[in-house]
Amino acid sequence: MDRSFFDRDSVAVAPELLGCLVTANGVTVRLTEVEAYRQDDPASHSFRGRTARTAVMFGPAGHLYVYFTYGMHYCANISCGPEGFGAAVLLRAGEVVDGVATAQARRGERIAFRDLGRGPARLAQAMGWDRDDDGADMVGSVRRGAGDLAVRSGPRTGITKAAEVPWRFWIDGDAFVSPYKRHPKALASEA
C-alpha cells in the first residue's frame, strides 16, 4: 500500500485494513480487528494536542505509533490522515500467517495459536514491536489481503471516554478477533 492509502480519515482507513497483511520483524499477520482514533475524539491520545509521546500520530501518514500501557504492554497503531491532525488506527488483532515459530517464541510456547495476536498487546508482542519501533515507516509493510469480507463495527473496547463510538471494526465470525470487553469505568459513567 502506498502512503496515499493512509493519508485519509482514520475512520475510512480502519475497515479497509481488515484482511490486510502486515509484516515486521520476521512475522506476518492478517489483520482481523482494528479501532480508529482521531484528534477530535476524547478517547484519542492526540485529543489534547501534540506531545513528544504522540508526535507520530500527527504525521506523516503510514508510520507506526507504539505506546506503553498499564506499565507492562506495548500497543501499535498506524498514523493516518493529513499531517498536523493527530489520527491513527489501533491494530487490535490478527492471525499469524507467517513466522509462527518467531511469534510463538515471543509470546510463549504454551500460548494457543489462536491467541498469538488476538488483542492489541498480544499482537504487538507477536510482531516484536516496542517503543524502539515508534515512528517506523509502514508503507511497504502492509499489503492488501482478501477482499469481500463481512465487516462489522461497534463500540470500542478497553477505554473510558467515547467508548460507545462505533469505530471498532472486525471481520464478522473470524476466530482471531479479540473478545469484546467494555471498560468498567465506561459502564459506570453510563449509569
For residue 27, what is the DSSP state? E
- pLDDT for residue 190 is more than 60: no
Q: What is the pLDDT of residue 162?
A: 80
d(CA 125, CA 118): 11
Highest mean pLDDT among 52-61, 85-94, 139-148: 85-94
- Cell of residue 183, nine digits: 471498560
Quick: pLDDT tens for 139-174: 999 999 877 889 999 888 877 788 788 899 999 999
Residue found by looking up cell 512475522 in the block: 27
Q: What is the pLDDT of residue 159?
A: 72
For residue 129, what is the DSSP state? -
Read off φ and ψ for residue 95, nearest 5 degrees: -100, 125
Quick: pLDDT tens for 3-22: 999 999 999 999 999 999 99
Q: What is the pLDDT of residue 42?
A: 75
Cβ neighbors of 120 (< 8 A, separation 6 or more) are 73, 75, 76, 90, 91, 92, 93, 178
For residue 38, what is the DSSP state? E
- What does the pLDDT average to over 107-132? 96
Cβ neighbors of 181 (< 8 A, separation 6 or more) are 157, 158
Decide: 171 and 146 in contact? Cβ < 8 Å. Answer: no
- What does the pLDDT average to over 51-62? 90
Decide: 90 and 77 in contact? Cβ < 8 Å. Answer: yes
What is the set of domains in the chain, with CATH numbers?
3-190 (3.10.300.10)
Q: What is the pLDDT of residue 157?
A: 80
What mean pLDDT is reported for the chain?
A: 90
Orientation angle between helical segments 120-127 and 100-107, nearest 10 degrees: 120
Within 13 Å of residue 97, how many CA atoms lie on the same side as its CB? 16
DSSP reduced 3-state for 47: coil
Neighbours of 149 (CB within 10 A): 18
The percent of residues in the chain predicted with pLDDT above 90, rounded, is 72
- pLDDT for residue 112 is more than 60: yes
Q: What is the pLDDT of residue 187?
A: 46
Which of 73-82, 102-111, 150-159 has the lowest average pLDDT?
A: 150-159
DSSP reduced 3-state for 94: strand
